[in-house]
Amino acid sequence: MIPFQAPLDDIFHSLRTFAGEVPGWDPELSQEVAGHFAAFAEGVLAPLNGPGDREGCRLENGRVRMPEGFGAAYAELAESGWQGLTAPEAFGGQELDHLTAAAVSEIFSGANHSLQMVTNLVPGAVSTLLVHGTPAQQETYIPKLASGAWLSTMCLTEAGAGSDLSRIRCRAVRDGESWRIEGQKIFISGGDQDLSEGILHLVLARTGAPEDGVKGLSLFLCPSDSDGVRNAITVTRIEEKLGLHASPTCQMEFDGASAELVGAEGRGLAAMFTMMNHARLDVSLQGVAHAARAYAIAAAYAAERRQGRQPDGSDAMLADHPDVQRMLAEQQDAARVARAMCHIALGELERGDAPALVEFLTPLCKIWCTEAGLRAADLGIQILGGYGYLEEYGVAQIWRDARITTIYEGANGIHCQTLASRGVRFAEGAAIEAFAALIARLAPEDAALAERSAAWQARARELAGLADVRVLAHDFAVATGALLADAIRVRLARG
C-alpha cells in the first residue's frame, strides 16, 4: 500500500487560482489550518482506511459497532475542534470559511471516505438549523454538533421513495406541542454508530395527504436520545455494500419517535435542500479526492515498476510507456479540473452575489466530479494491471468507494435533468448569462471557446423554452461540463 499523502499544495494552488477574491478569506491561515488536518489525516485517519474496509461495521443487539480504532480517531477529531470548523463561535464553533472546510473535506475523503461519510453531515445540519431553526432549536443542538458530542443524519429515502420524494409515506402526527414519527427509512448513512453520545436525525416525513406530493412533506429534528432515554428509533439492519464498508448504511424504523418541526409545516423539502446542497458539493469533493488519490497511487507505482524495454533495449519503467503516460495524464487532468470546478462554485457561494450561478454549478459539479473520481479509479486499476485488481494496493477500494458517488445525493442523470430544466430557467435565465461570463473570465482570449460558448448559450435558451428536456438533458450536461473543463484548462495553462 502506498501511504496517503494529502495533496495540500495542489488544493491551495487551485483555491488561489479559481476561488477568486473572497472577503475575509486568508489563504495563508487557511493553508496552515488545513496543514494541521493533513497531518492528522495522514497519521490517524488514513491508516484506518484499509483495516476498516476489511473489518466493516456490525449490528449487535440493535446497535451499530464501528471498526476497531474508529472510536479513538473520532474522539481525537472532535477534541481538536474539527466538527465545529464552520459553526458560529456563539455556539462553540470556530466560524471559519467554507473554502478552508472544503480543503479539509477533500483531505478527509481521500484519507478515509467511510469515516468522512459518518461525520460530515454536521455542517449541513448546522446550516439547516441556522436558516430554518428556532433560537431554542439552535441553542439546543448546534453546540452539541459543533463539539462533536453529537453527529447527524439525513433521513429521506424509503423503499418506495428514492429519487421521487413525492412518494414518501413515513408520517408525522401532532402530539401536543411536539410530533411523533411513524415509518421506515432506508440507506441512512451513520443511522447509528458508537462514536458520538447522540445523533440528530433530520427526517423528511409526511404531514399532509399522499396526494399532496412534496407539498405535504415537513422536516423534523428527531434526536436519538433525550435526557438519557433512547427515542423510539430502531436500526433493523445495516446494508452489505460494494464499498464504504466502514460506513454503516442503516435501515431504520421510527415507531412513534418524538420529534420537533423545523421550518414551516409543508415546506420540508425546501428546508432539507439547505442540507442537500451542502451535501452535493461535499460529494463533488469526494470525487476530487478519489481522483487525486488514484492518480497518486498509480503515478508512484508506475515510476517504480520495471516493465518491458525501451526502444534502445534498456529496461523500461511502467511510466516510460506512452499508453501509461496517457492514462496518468488523464487521471491528473481529472483531479485538477474537478477540483477547480468545486473551488469556482465554493468561491461563488462564499461571495453570495451570484445565486443563479451557484444553483447551476452545484449539479454540474456533482456530475462532473463524481464521474472524474470513478474514471480515475478505473484508470488506476488499469495502470497497475493485475495488481490493481487486487486489494493490496488500495485502488480497488477507491473504485468500490467511489462508485456510490454518482448515485447518492441525487443520481447523476437527475442532475442532468436539473441543469437542462430548472438550471437554465432559474431567475429567468440568469444562470445562462452568469455561466457564459464565467467562461469568458477563465479564457478571455480564446476565440474557439468564445464561439462554443455562444453556441452553448443558444442551446441553453432553446432548452429553457421546452416543456420536456429529458431526452436532451444528458448531452447538454456533458457539453456544459466539457465547456467549463476546457476553460479551466486554458486558465491552468496560463499558470
Q: Catalytic residue numbers?
A: 409
Tens digits of residue pLDDT in 212-225: 888 899 999 999 99
Q: CA-CA distance, 119 to 320, in Å (whole number)?
A: 41
Q: Looking at beta carbons, which pairs linking 8-14 to residues 24 or more positions away fall under 8 Å?
A: 8/34, 8/35, 8/38, 8/103, 8/107, 10/292, 10/335, 10/336, 10/339, 11/103, 11/106, 11/107, 11/339, 12/103, 14/336, 14/339, 14/340, 14/343
Q: Please give the pLDDT value at position 269.
A: 87
Q: Please give the pLDDT value at position 250.
A: 98
pLDDT at 118 over 80: yes
Q: CA-CA distance, 383 to 377, in Å (whole number)?
A: 10
Cell of 129: 438549523
Please name the helix (run of DSSP H) or strand (run of DSSP E) that holds residue 394, with its range, or none.
none
Q: Please give the pLDDT value at position 265.
A: 94
Tens digits of residue pLDDT in 253-276: 999 999 999 999 999 988 888 788
pLDDT category at 378 given cuts 50, 70, 90 is very high
pLDDT at 488 over 90: yes
Q: Please give the pLDDT value at position 344.
A: 98
pLDDT at 1 over 80: no
pLDDT category at 74 given cuts 50, 70, 90 is very high
pLDDT at 227 over 90: no
pLDDT at 137 over 90: yes
Q: What is the DSSP letter of 67?
A: P
Distances (CA, A) of 146 to 203, 230, 245: 20, 22, 26
Q: Please give the pLDDT value at position 164.
A: 87
Percent of the chain with pLDDT over 90: 93
pLDDT at 136 over 90: yes
Q: Please give the pLDDT value at position 402.
A: 98
Stated pTM of the model: 0.96
pLDDT at 59 over 80: yes
Q: Which residues contact 418 (CB under 8 A, 6 or more apart)?
A: 363, 410
Q: CA-CA distance, 118 to 128, in Å (whole number)?
A: 18
Cα atoms in the Cβ-side hemisphere of radius 13 Å centred on 482: 8
CB 221 within 8 A of CB 200: yes
Helices 27-40 and 8-18, packing angle to 10 deg: 150
Q: Please give the pLDDT value at position 234.
A: 97
pLDDT category at 320 given cuts 50, 70, 90 is very high
User: Mean pLDDT over all residues of the chain?
Assistant: 96
